[in-house]
Amino acid sequence: MNLNVDRTLCQVTGLCAGLAPDALEMDEEGELVILAEKPTADLLVEVRHAVRSCPVQALSLTEG
């Protein structure tokens, strides 16, 4: 699985980083940083929760 962010949709609310702090974080400039582009099995539960919770559907998981 690949974790992706559509930067044209992302409003950098930080909600996702709070839900999946081992996979996503906000940098010092307020940009979303993907820490785990290919989340491990132990991260998938929180990553899926972050993807589902994104208020603008900017996050996605794709096969690959």
Domain limits, the chain:
2-62
User: 8: helix, coil or strand?
Assistant: coil
On the question of pLDDT at 14 being above 90, the answer is yes
On the question of pLDDT at 1 being above 90, the answer is yes
On the question of pLDDT at 64 being above 90, the answer is no
Residues 16, 50: Cα–Cα separation, whole Å: 5
Residues 42, 12: Cα–Cα separation, whole Å: 25
Residue 30 zone, left/alpha/beta (φ > 0; ψ -120 to 50; rest): left
Predicted local confidence at residue 21, as pLDDT: 98
CATH number of 2-62: 3.30.70.20
Pair 14, 34: CB distance under 8 Å: no
Sign of CA dihedral 63, 51, 49, 40: positive
- 37-59: pLDDT as tens digits: 999 999 999 999 999 999 999 99
